[in-house]
Amino acid sequence: MSTYKFGTKAIHSGVDPDPTTGAIMTPIYQTSTYVQEEIGSHKGYQYSRIQNPTRTALEKSLATVENGKYASCLGSGMAATDLVMRMLKPGDEVIAINGLYGGSYRIFKTVYEPLGIKFHFDPMVELDSIAQRINANTRLLWLETPTNPLLQIIDLQAICSLAKKHGIMVAVDNTFASPYLQNPLDLGADIVMHSVTKYLAGHSDVIMGALITNSEEIAEEIQRLRTTTGAVPGPQDCFLVLRGIKTLHLRMRQHCINAKAIAEYLNAHPKVEKVNWPGLPDHPNHEVAKKQMRDFGGMLSFSLVGDRMEDAKTILNNCKLFCLAESLGGVESLSSHPATMSHAALPKEERLKTGIVDSLIRLSVGVEDAEDLLKDLDNALSKI
């Protein structure tokens, strides 16, 4: 499969005609257990916490699109992050990007820090600053790019090579980019984590996570931990994601085209203060984005002239196609207000310091017709 281009891989990998009937679609093996012919003789499947054929097909597909050898699906993105943390032991230290996904911050600070793991947060922009935080106990770098909700881009290749020099494992949360736009394993990462819930599933109907790696040792440890702790997704959800991945390339192309049209429109709008989208030539990390991503993605955020929370509310209330909701990456366009939603727990001063201003609006641009999306925003902006 590795010699094929992305769309071909997305459609064909992991999917073989079913051996019993020839069904072209992988069946939903809704079973907990498998009958063994005799003691010590089975067909590779014993119990669905350990393996399930629908899940195996999806894992092959995920490994292929992420240019990895091994993939493991988990019950949610957070279960995937949790599994990586379980590889650490008390006394170990982690350097994580600041401005990472709120749920990741929460699990680090409220679950793993009390267990004796130390977390440092760094913007991951200056290599010297990262290097200064490294010591003999540093085990893991936790990265995320583009970041949420400001769409900053960090240089994965440069950071991975620094980590390699010090023998530190690198995990990248690749949810925002999706494997269509960016493959961190190719840039030197050891583990790619996905909230499959988002672009990979793509239709806002599944919660799932995944970990992908090229290291046999890491893959075995993931498999051992998952079998032991049990956060596996069900076969029906695996089927839905297998189906979702078949159109990942088509969806992502349209997400990118639509986001570009909206970013350019907003960038020229007199009521808009600032647009954060890595595809804009004046984005501070545009060159890094061009180097490590195939396109610039469907996520963007923008702030308003005057920075009034009331104006942001007016816009969000007047959008008809952009639905106000957490989450992202589905075919339908969504809007959110980070200051009162995803980042409400941050003290106002902290929030403003990180650039999450009162009027900031985040959009997950869907695959509707761009003209309709532009009209929707234009109408909402006319109300302020």
Ligand X SMILES: *Cc1c(COP(=O)(O)O)cnc(C)c1O
Question: Residue 293 or 380: which CB sits closer to ligand X?
Answer: 293
Q: How far is the CB of 207 from ligand X (least distance, A)?
A: 5
Q: How far is the CB of 306 from ligand X (least distance, A)?
A: 29
Q: How far is the CB of 333 from ligand X (least distance, A)?
A: 16
Question: Residue 101 or 322: which CB sits closer to ligand X?
Answer: 101
Q: How far is the CB of 337 from ligand X (least distance, A)?
A: 16
97: amino acid identity, one letter: I
d(CA 79, CA 77): 5
Buried b or exposed e, range 99-131, using 16+ CB within 10 angstroms? bbbbebbebbeeebeeeebbebbbebbeeeebe
Our CA dihedral for 158, 159, 165, 167, rounded to 10 degrees, sits at -150
A 10 A CB-CB count for 43 gives 10
Beta strands across the sheet bearing 70-74: 70-74, 209-213, 191-195, 169-173, 138-144, 93-97, 118-122
Question: Residue 14 or 75: which CB sits closer to ligand X?
Answer: 75
Q: Which residues pair with 171 in a beta bridge?
A: 142, 191
Give CA separation, 372 vs 90, 195, 379, in Å: 53, 28, 11
The residue annotated as part of the active site, out of 9, 55, 60, 198, is: 198
Q: How far is the CB of 205 from ligand X (least distance, A)?
A: 12
Instruction: Compute the Cα dihedral for 293, 175, 171, 162 and give only its sign.
Output: positive
Q: How far is the CB of 108 from ligand X (least distance, A)?
A: 12
Q: How far is CA 166 from the centre of its chain?
A: 26
Give CA separation, 295 vs 29, 146, 171, 225, 238, in Å: 36, 12, 22, 35, 27
Give CA separation, 215 vs 55, 70, 94, 218, 347, in Å: 20, 8, 20, 5, 40
Annotated catalytic residue 49: yes
Question: Residue 16 or 326: which CB sits closer to ligand X?
Answer: 326
Residue nearest ligand X, CB atom distance: 77
Question: Residue 259 or 272: which CB sits closer to ligand X?
Answer: 259
First-to-last C-alpha distance (Å) of the chain: 52
Annotated catalytic residue 101: yes
d(CA 364, CA 254): 12
The residue annotated as part of the active site, out of 49, 86, 139, 253, is: 49
Residues interacting with ligand X, by CB under 6 A?
A: 76-78, 101, 103-104, 144, 148, 173, 175-176, 195, 197-198, 207, 209
7's tokens:
């769309």
Question: Residue 272 or 338: which CB sits closer to ligand X?
Answer: 338
Catalytic residue IDs: 49, 101, 173, 198
